[in-house]
């Protein structure tokens, strides 16, 4: 079954945008493509189907880096300058600079011998006021659409022919400007995802996804499967038909996130999670104590008063799975659990895990085995 065309177009646009944003390290990993697609509401299954569909069109996989780059049809279109598109992230001043440098070398040295060092072209362009990223993107576009050949950092024109400047080609464009809505939608998301490779922010925007990566840093990487399975079941729950299950799993994620940072907090000697309760076997730890202690510690606290209140509310709902607790709390029978309470449980899980991630940014873990 073919993936919906809008999903295919979006994935193609996302891969294309990676060239403008990270021209010396283009492409997206499978996980990055899933993350980009999820931010606009596409599900992992349909994104994966779209990627397989694109792969049949000879999508490029960068060897050694496990990244996908645009398919041949996309990169070919990038090299057709006599088309007007909106938005267009190509910098025509940068494209012209690369083209004119090669044209000058062809005139001076002949088509067969014309060569340019990529780094030299880049530095000359920067000296002329062209942004470094834009000139790098221009070179990568020319290389990927096979107008230039790059080997060991040396550029030569494919075929050796003198070519008109890209801006001159576009000046001859006829017809309407093509709207590229998927490109406009994908660009800021891809930019954010690529920046997360090196700016120490979690790779995922969604806190439940981002926390899975933190498990490795905390020394609990062997619990990733448990965490991801719990998250998956939590997300598949329905606030309408299975509100109790949603709240129970939300509480399990809150309890899990706080449990996995106890050892790290105590090794740092912080006042949060410093209760003697956590000196014993983890099986004796309770979610009530974890939330209370995570809200203690002043400046080092994980939860503020508002987050603690919401977590406490989730705990009360979670106790519905204990018949003895219900007999005590609701001797006349517990009230029906409403969908809005389940939705609040979902939001509380996201909030608490986000607070944990923010705290880990403030107190980053090293290689701390449990």
Per residue in 29-56, pLDDT (tens digit) is 888 898 899 889 898 888 888 888 876 5
Where is the domain boundary, 199, 230, 256? Answer: 199
User: Is residue 15 situated within a structural domain?
Assistant: yes
Q: Are residues 248 and 332 in the same domain?
A: yes
Q: What is the pLDDT of residues 274-293, one digit of tens each?
A: 998 898 899 999 999 999 99
So what's the pLDDT on residue 215? 93
**Mean pLDDT, the chain, integer:** 87
Q: DSSP letters of 130-185?
A: --HHHHHHHHHHHHHTTSEEEETTEEEETT------HHHHHHT--SPPEE-HHHHH
Q: Are residues 221 and 292 in the same domain?
A: yes
So what's the pLDDT on residue 240? 86
User: Is residue 79 situated within a structural domain?
Assistant: no
Where is the domain boundary, 165, 199, 233? Answer: 199
User: Is residue 369 situated within a structural domain?
Assistant: no
So what's the pLDDT on residue 124? 92
**Is the Cα dihedral 31, 33, 38, 43 positive or negative?**
negative
Q: Are residues 216 and 323 in the same domain?
A: yes
Q: Are residues 43 and 19 in the same domain?
A: yes
| Closest CA relative to residue 303, chosen from 311, 294, 312 | 294
Q: Are residues 257 and 231 in the same domain?
A: yes
Q: Are residues 188 and 57 in the same domain?
A: yes
CATH of the domain at 114: 1.10.10
Angle at 261 between CA 257 and CA 263, to 5 degrees: 145
pTM of the model: 0.63
Pairing of strands 85-86, 178-179: parallel
* Three-state secondary structure call for residue 73: helix
Confidence of residue 368 (pLDDT cuts 50, 70, 90): very low
Residues spanned by the domain of 247: 207-362
Q: How far apart are CA 310 and CA 251, in angstroms?
A: 11
**Which of residues 239 and 95 earns the better pLDDT score?**
95
Domain total of the chain = 3
Q: What is the pLDDT of residues 297-345, one digit of tens each?
A: 999 999 999 999 999 999 988 887 777 777 777 778 777 777 888 889 9
User: Is residue 107 situated within a structural domain?
Assistant: yes
Contact in structure between 190 and 33 (CB atoms under 8 Å) = no
So what's the pLDDT on residue 370? 42
Q: How far apart are CA 317 and CA 320, in angstroms?
A: 6
Q: Are residues 137 and 21 in the same domain?
A: no
Q: Are residues 124 and 21 in the same domain?
A: no
Q: Are residues 60 and 194 in the same domain?
A: yes
Q: What is the pLDDT of residues 10-23, one digit of tens each?
A: 999 999 999 999 99
Q: DSSP letters of 48-62?
A: HHHHHHHHTT--EEE
Q: Are residues 161 and 300 in the same domain?
A: no
């Amino acid at each position: 079954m073919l993936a919906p065309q809008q999903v295919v177009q979006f994935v193609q646009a996302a891969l294309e945008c990676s060239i403008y944003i990270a021209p010396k390290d283009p492409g997206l990993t499978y996980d990055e493509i899933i993350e980009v697609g999820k931010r606009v509401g596409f599900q992992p299954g349909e994104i994966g189907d779209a990627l397989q569909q694109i792969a049949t069109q000879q999508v490029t996989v960068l060897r050694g880096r496990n990244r996908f780059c645009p398919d041949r049809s996309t990169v070919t279109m990038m090299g057709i300058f006599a088309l007007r598109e909106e938005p267009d992230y190509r910098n025509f001043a940068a494209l012209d600079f690369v083209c004119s440098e090669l044209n000058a070398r062809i005139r001076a040295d002949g088509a067969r011998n014309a060569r340019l060092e990529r780094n030299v072209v880049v530095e000359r362009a920067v000296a002329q006021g062209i942004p470094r990223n834009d000139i790098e993107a221009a070179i990568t576009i020319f290389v990927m659409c096979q107008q230039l050949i790059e080997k060991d950092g040396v550029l030569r024109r494919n075929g050796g022919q003198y070519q008109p400047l890209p801006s001159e080609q576009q000046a001859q464009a006829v017809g309407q400007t093509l709207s590229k809505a998927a490109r406009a939608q994908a660009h800021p998301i891809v930019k954010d995802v690529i920046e997360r490779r090196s700016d120490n922010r979690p790779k995922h925007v969604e806190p439940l996804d981002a926390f899975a990566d933190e498990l490795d840093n905390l020394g609990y990487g062997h619990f990733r499967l448990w965490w991801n399975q719990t998250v998956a079941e939590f997300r598949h729950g329905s606030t309408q038909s299975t509100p109790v299950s949603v709240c129970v799993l939300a509480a399990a994620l809150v309890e899990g996130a706080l449990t996995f940072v106890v050892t790290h907090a105590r090794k740092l000697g912080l006042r949060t999670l410093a209760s003697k309760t956590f000196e014993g076997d983890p099986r004796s730890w309770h979610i009530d104590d974890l939330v209370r202690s995570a809200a203690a510690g002043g400046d080092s606290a994980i939860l503020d008063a508002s987050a603690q209140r919401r977590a406490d509310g989730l705990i009360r709902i979670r106790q519905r799975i204990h018949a003895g607790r219900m007999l005590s709390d609701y001797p006349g029978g517990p009230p029906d659990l409403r969908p809005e309470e389940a939705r609040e449980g979902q939001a509380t899980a996201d909030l608490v895990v986000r607070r944990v991630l923010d705290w880990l940014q403030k107190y980053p873990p090293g290689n701390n085995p449990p």
